[in-house]
Chain A
Amino acid sequence: MWLTRPFNERSTQIFLLILIVAVTAVTILHLAVPEGHPLYVSGYTVGLLGKYLTYALLAVAVDLVWGYLGILSLGHGAFFAIGGYAMGMYLMRQIGDRGTYGDPILPDFMVFLNWDSLPWYWLGFDMAWFAFAMVLIAPGLLALVFGWLAFRSRVTGVYLSIITQAMTFALMLAFFRNEMGFGGNNGLTDFRELLGFDLRSEATRLGLFIASAVALALGYWLCRAIVGSKLGRVCVATRDAEARTRFLGYRVERFQLFVFVVSAMLAGVAGALYVPQVGIINPSEFDPIFSIEVVLWVALGGRASLYGAVIGAVLVNYAKTVFTGVMPDAWLFALGGLFVFVTVFLPKGVAGLLERRARRRDDADVMSEKEATA
């Protein structure tokens, strides 16, 4: 079965094991260790780690299309943000009449803009199942339309990168407009509760952290399953020799579209989990720079390895947290330098380094394992 195959892979086993251990450790250190103890993990840190995990899921989504399909999307931030907005709309509706203006239906910003009713696309977002479905459907639909247009006309490589960037840029401009009905500049914020849980409580924060870890594990597993299947090999074939794949009888554009949509949905889920943890979603998530940064996480971690994307996302964001606290001006220098360093000196990323060490250690082992999986 293609879905169970990942459990036979050593890399997946190790990855899931580390994830489980890490999450358990954080949970225990947060709950069982008394505050003030050096090993205590604060609620703030839990929230921060939860945020890293959603970023890691986003990076996995980007790696799926970039690493295995060769599509460098500079617009995945858009799918992330749309998933986030879907969640944000649900959270807005959950505020109910507790907003500043006390309107039972309309979010504060709509009252402020003198709107007298909800726009049609806000309908249904008071129901959790609908909003959660939209977290998948909205980014998936955008990816479907965009990808269908792009892959059908065989826009690939740099061109595709540039138009994905234009896509997220156009969306950013659009979401900045108040008339769009998504809160304009300020976005959506002041959330109260999610499925009845108070978003300000530490327990909810821990729950969201665990939910992010589960989402990451599931996303990782799904991607591994796809990548390890014959479809995954078609993707790699497409990446390396698109025309050849076509002449073998594969409808390359459909494979690209399929994987692109799956990846966009994963990004949407990541965004949806990100929003309640940071408490706001605004158009800056559409900023093309954010999308490029995500690509850097993947590049640093190592393209086409999936776990590398996770490593990269956590490393870069941890560095960002440290830098912006200690010397904020230096962060952009460090980030810029990292871009150059990774592409020039570390083309295979951290995962490449790990794999080279592993290969040196047991070359024969890998060979026999491959035999078994084939």
Chain B
Amino acid sequence: MSFFQSLTERDRVFDFMTPQLSKVDVRHGPILYMEDVTVSFDGFKAINNLNLTIDDGELRCIIGPNGAGKTTMMDIITGKTRPNQGSVWFGSRHNLLHMNEPDIASLGIGRKFQKPTVFEALTVFENLELAMAADKRILPTLTARMTGEIKDRIDEVLETIGLTALRHQPAGILSHGQKQWLEIGMLLMQRPRLLLVDEPVAGMTEQEMERTAELLTGLAGKQSVVVVEHDMGFVRSIARQVTVLHQGSVLAEGTMDEVSMDPNVVEVYLGADEEAA
């Protein structure tokens, strides 16, 4: 869609004026619905006939060995990768396959990358400021002013992620774990309906992990959270519902106990990687 086209499209203006949370239609059940999705890179099927449903307010953990397609799945939901076939719906109104990354993001899907990605040259405060839900078009961004309300909101999140003391330091100097939190904080600022969190505790100490677990479980209910994680201990500590991916499709689904009993899962995953469990 061209820049000019979008300027003349009146419904876009209404889009941001309507409150963020009411955009998604979840009256008919799930907030995310993936059906028969397939992606192949040079003939290799990274995702193969994947079916996945996430309910509104649910906290779902997704596990699976390397190459199971976890990151690719997130790429599809956020619009980075286009599947060869299948459909992906956000609520019952928005077909995500017809939208690009910024559209999807402003619809209320937030993503935390596997490798923590924060804006290293900007301060912690500025990182959160940019992430905040706001009118993200050019002129409003150019003329945006820092109000007390916004400051309060940022301070609140700074408190939550425990980075208040470092608020004016460039994000580049943060430790690995702090960057992970900052990124989670950025997600919170976005006020998304659905959070996609890729390996949130990689490189964290035990205490940091506990805090992260607390954070994520606190979010569930208000927002839907999908966590991809390798650390089985962490998954066990937060998971209510677990989905096991294997070779691009769902191998098993259920509570942690259920899936760890599943003979298929034991064979392809847990069996091969006992100590991780």
User: B186 on the interface (CB 8 Å rule)?
Assistant: yes
Query: Chain B's nearest CB lies how many Å from the CB of A87?
Result: 28
Residue pair A255, B129 in contact (C-beta under 8 Å): no
Q: Tell me which residues across on chain B come within 8 A of A129, comparing CB atoms.
A: none
User: B217 on the interface (CB 8 Å rule)?
Assistant: no
Decide: A255 near B138, CB < 8 A? Known: A246-B105, A371-B168: yes
User: B131 on the interface (CB 8 Å rule)?
Assistant: yes
Residue pair B143, A229 in contact (C-beta under 8 Å): yes
Residue pair A374, B122 in contact (C-beta under 8 Å): no
CA distance A349 to B1 in the complex (A): 40
Residue pair A247, B141 in contact (C-beta under 8 Å): no
CA distance A148 to B125 in the complex (A): 31
Q: Per-position contact with A for B105-128: 1 when CB-CB < 8 Å, else 0?
A: 110001101000111111101100
CA distance A330 to B169 in the complex (A): 45
Q: Tell me which residues across on chain A come within 8 A of B126, comparing CB atoms.
A: 233, 374
Residue pair B142, A2 in contact (C-beta under 8 Å): yes
Residue ID in chain A nearest B143 by CB atoms: A2
With a 10 A CB-CB cut-off, give which of B117, B141, B186 has the most chain A CB atoms: B141
Residue pair A229, B168 in contact (C-beta under 8 Å): no
User: A15 on the interface (CB 8 Å rule)?
Assistant: no
Can you identify 9 A-B contacts, CB atoms within 8 angstroms? A2-B144, A148-B3, A240-B119, A240-B122, A243-B101, A244-B119, A247-B111, A254-B137, A254-B138
User: B165 on the interface (CB 8 Å rule)?
Assistant: no
Query: Chain B's nearest CB lies how many Å from the CB of A4?
Result: 11
Decide: A246 near B102, CB < 8 A? Known: A230-B144, A231-B142, A371-B168: yes
With a 10 A CB-CB cut-off, give which of A244, A252, A370 has the most chain B CB atoms: A244
User: B38 on the interface (CB 8 Å rule)?
Assistant: no
Residue pair A229, B144 in contact (C-beta under 8 Å): yes
Residue pair A237, B105 in contact (C-beta under 8 Å): no
Residue pair B142, A237 in contact (C-beta under 8 Å): no
User: B261 on the interface (CB 8 Å rule)?
Assistant: no
CA distance A2 to B119 in the complex (A): 22
Residue ID in chain A nearest B192 by CB atoms: A249
CA distance A249 to B190 in the complex (A): 9
Contact-residue size bin, chain A (C-beta under 8 Å from the other chain): 20 to 34
Query: Which A residues from 195 to 238 make CB contacts under 8 A with B?
Result: 226, 229-231, 233-234, 236-237
Q: Which of A236, A241, A249, A370 contacts B105 (CB 8 A)?
A: A249
CA distance A238 to B186 in the complex (A): 15
User: A250 on the interface (CB 8 Å rule)?
Assistant: yes
Q: Per-position contact with B for A6-22: 1 when CB-CB < 8 Å, else 0?
A: 00000000000000000
Residue pair A250, B125 in contact (C-beta under 8 Å): no
Decide: A370 near B123, CB < 8 A? Known: A233-B130, A246-B105: yes
User: B78 on the interface (CB 8 Å rule)?
Assistant: yes
Contact-residue size bin, chain B (C-beta under 8 Å from the other chain): 35 or more
CA distance A244 to B190 in the complex (A): 13
Decide: A233 near B122, CB < 8 A? Known: A252-B102, A370-B168: yes
User: B45 on the interface (CB 8 Å rule)?
Assistant: no
CA distance A243 to B129 in the complex (A): 17
Query: Which B residues from 157 to 198 make CB contacts under 8 A with A?
Result: 168, 186, 190
Q: Tell me which residues across on chain B come within 8 A of A236, comparing CB atoms.
A: 119, 121-122
Decide: A230 near B130, CB < 8 A? Known: A241-B117, A254-B138: yes
Residue pair B122, A257 in contact (C-beta under 8 Å): no
Query: Chain B's nearest CB lies how many Å from the CB of A266?
Result: 16
CA distance A354 to B10 in the complex (A): 49
Q: Which of A1, A239, A251, A371 contacts B102 (CB 8 A)?
A: A251
Q: Tell me which residues across on chain B come within 8 A of A257, comparing CB atoms.
A: 3
With a 10 A CB-CB cut-off, give which of B2, B78, B117, B142 has the most chain A CB atoms: B142
User: B136 on the interface (CB 8 Å rule)?
Assistant: yes
Query: Chain A's nearest CB lies how many Å from the CB of B21?
Result: 15
User: A290 on the interface (CB 8 Å rule)?
Assistant: no
Q: Tell me which residues across on chain A come within 8 A of B142, comparing CB atoms.
A: 2, 226, 229-231
CA distance A361 to B28 in the complex (A): 63
User: B17 on the interface (CB 8 Å rule)?
Assistant: no
Query: Chain B's nearest CB lies how many Å from the CB of A373?
Result: 9
Query: Chain B's nearest CB lies how many Å from the CB of A90?
Result: 29
Residue pair A250, B122 in contact (C-beta under 8 Å): no
User: A327 on the interface (CB 8 Å rule)?
Assistant: no
Residue pair B141, A229 in contact (C-beta under 8 Å): yes
